[in-house]
């Protein structure tokens, strides 16, 4: 897969496919912790995101072929327990798109989730570009393509390995700002802020109960506890922060990168042609 964590697409013994992020990856184990904490919060808020699972890597699969490339050197993947993000569909039979051209965005069934995750990324200080993948759904209207967005790759929440919380400015935005013009941002964002304000301490801290100790270095658990307590306290300023960020994107929500748009158009056209030509061909291309 693409991305700094050098994740892999793997098939589990259960026959399902996962994007696996391994311990010891170049971005650090804290990015796994960030994923583990963020996903349940997104689920509580009703944001479409794949479930995360613990993946056990048996000794028989640990060899030189499963490694990271760091500074032109190969480092073997070690450790027993790793993070898996469940693929929403079988990538051997269905195409997973990592972007859609603007003309297809209106065909996304859960556009409001872009506004919800916009708020969440402000709160969690998510520094990476907001990433979404798209899966085609059945449409009630013949000839119309319908898609569902799944929001993935939350490793850079809490400023990634820095485990920091600040007022994010310009971070965590989806690559095509036009998507924000298709949603009632003010209304959905206000509702999402209210949901976050009503989260209980138990809901925020519950992922720690199942967090593998092997992902934590000495002293990390106490720092993580302080981080989450600060996260809860920061809700008092979230509504003001979101309002200011909405103002900042209002003037450029219709602006897209011409180069990026043409690239997306070209790649998506090819992928959709593949889907039409054969139901068994696939491109599982999203990175982490």
Q: Tens digit of pLDDT for each residue in 226-245?
A: 999 999 999 999 999 999 99
Decide: helix, strand or coil at residue 143. Answer: coil
d(CA 150, CA 131): 9
HSE, side-chain direction, 13 A CA sphere, residue 26: 16
Encoding tokens for residue 203? 């809901």
Is pTM beyond 0.75 here? yes
Q: Which helix (H) or strand (E) holds 75?
A: strand 73-76
Q: Which of 61, 59, 71, 76 is nearest to 25 (CA)?
A: 76
Query: Kind and range of the H or E element at 19?
Result: strand 17-21
Q: Give the per-residue pLDDT at 107.
A: 94
CB under 8 Å to 222, separation ≥6 — which residues? Answer: none
User: Could you tell me which residue, 149 or 59, shows the higher pLDDT?
Assistant: 149
Q: What confidence score (pLDDT) does residue 115 get? A: 97
CB-based contacts of 30, cutoff 8 Å, min separation 6: 158, 160, 161, 163, 220
Rounded Cα distance, 263 and 251, in Å: 24
The mean-pLDDT minimum among 29-33, 88-92, 152-156, 283-287 falls in 283-287
With pLDDT > 90 as the criterion, what percentage of the chain qualifies?
69
> Where are the domains positioned within the chain?
8-277
Write the pLDDT tens digit of every residue in 137-148.
887 777 678 999
């Amino acid at each position: 897969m693409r991305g700094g964590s050098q994740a892999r697409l793997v098939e589990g013994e259960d026959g399902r496919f996962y994007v696996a992020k391994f311990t010891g990856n170049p971005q650090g184990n804290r990015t796994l912790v960030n994923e583990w904490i963020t996903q349940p919060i997104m689920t509580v808020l009703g944001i479409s995101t794949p479930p995360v699972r613990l993946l056990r890597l048996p000794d028989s699969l640990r060899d030189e072929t499963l490694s990271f490339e760091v500074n032109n050197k190969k480092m073997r993947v070690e450790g027993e327990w790793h993070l898996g993000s469940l693929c929403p569909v079988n990538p051997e039979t269905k195409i997973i798109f990592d972007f859609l051209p603007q003309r297809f965005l209106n065909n996304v069934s859960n556009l409001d989730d872009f506004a919800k995750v916009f708020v969440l990324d402000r709160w969690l200080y998510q520094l990476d570009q907001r990433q979404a993948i798209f899966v085609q759904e059945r449409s009630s209207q013949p000839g119309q393509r319908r898609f569902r967005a799944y929001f993935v790759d939350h490793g850079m929440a809490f400023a990634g390995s820095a485990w920091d919380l600040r007022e994010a400015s310009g971070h965590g935005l989806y690559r095509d700002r036009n998507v924000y013009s298709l949603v009632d941002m003010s209304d959905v964002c206000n509702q999402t802020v209210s949901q976050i304000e009503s989260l209980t301490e138990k809901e925020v801290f519950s992922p720690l109960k199942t967090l593998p100790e092997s992902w934590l270095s000495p002293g990390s658990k106490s720092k993580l506890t302080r981080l989450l307590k600060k996260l809860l306290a920061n809700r008092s300023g979230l509504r003001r922060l979101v309002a200011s960020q909405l103002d900042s994107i209002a003037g450029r929500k219709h602006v897209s990168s011409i180069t990026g748009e043409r690239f997306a158009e070209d790649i998506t056209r090819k992928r959709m042609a593949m889907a039409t030509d054969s139901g068994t061909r696939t491109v599982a291309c999203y990175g982490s």
